[in-house]
Amino acid sequence: METREQYTYDEYKETADWLLAAIRIRPKVAVICGSGLGGLADLLSDKTMIPYEKIPRFPKSTVPGHARKLVFGELNGKQCICMQGRFHFYEGYPVNEVTFPIRVFHLMGVESLIVTNAAGGLNEQFKVGDIMFINDHINLPGFAGLNPLRGSNEERFGVRFLCMSDAYDKAFHQMALDSAQELGYQDFVRDGVYCMLAGPSYETVAECRMLKMLGADAVGMSTVPEVILARHCGMRVFGISLITNKVVMDYSSQAKTNHKEVLQTSRDRAEALQRLISNLVGKMD
């Protein structure tokens, strides 16, 4: 697999211009669909679909449950991009390729990003099928230097040293709570902290216990790099984790986390999550 450590501003812009020439709309909202959650794009009207392999410089997602295409259209009165399939460290991509679409979206005029993911529940109060609004995150790969802002800084995107204490937009969070109230989803909507690990192996019992001590409520293998790049570009961000499995916290347990379980829970809760996001998008200014 050929990889790139860093792209130039002009390369991002060439891809953005290519996409703008291929579509009729001018999207302001982008949604990244996590494992098994790509059905949200079915709600878009007046759709244009572009497979990743046709887009200049776009990486190729290899994970089951990811459809590998961009879908453009209108959702609840807003012009949107839905990204059906994201990219991960564990697929072999460097961080700049994992996050490549974010700067492209920014140069296309996108102002708001909604990120979704499938995650394991660390919080003992969470149940499989719960929807967690992300209040904050812990970037464990970042502790080891895997940060998408590593390398020379491009000032046309953002500042060298990025503040992340306001990563997740509080106004969007309130709008999402209002949407959950309107839809009657209060019983399975939670707030929490998402922790990212690089994967692809799931966590050991000791690792899960450590993450819980650090204050994480859910754990997954994505999302954080995209959020960092989006905030660097000045986008407003809202994040959602679908709790697709409970992590194993007890050595005596016979339970084993597997991707099939993750996809099945995603399918079971997909309709509710799609309605929630559609309602939220309709409220966005």
List active site positions. Answer: 35, 66, 88, 90-91, 118, 221-222, 245, 259
Amino acid sitting at position 70: L
Distance CA 273, CA 209 (A): 28
Report which of 61, 62, 64 is spatially closest to residue 83, judged by C-alpha positions: 61
Q: Residue 45 in contact with residue 73, Cβ under 8 Å?
A: yes
Measured distance CA(230)–CA(232) in Å, rounded:
5
Query: What distance in Å separates the CA atoms of residue 236 and residue 166, rounded to the nearest whole number?
Result: 10
In this structure, the dihedral spanned by the alpha carbons of residues 138, 29, 262 and 65, taken in order and rounded to 10 degrees, is -130
Token digits of residue 49: 């679909």
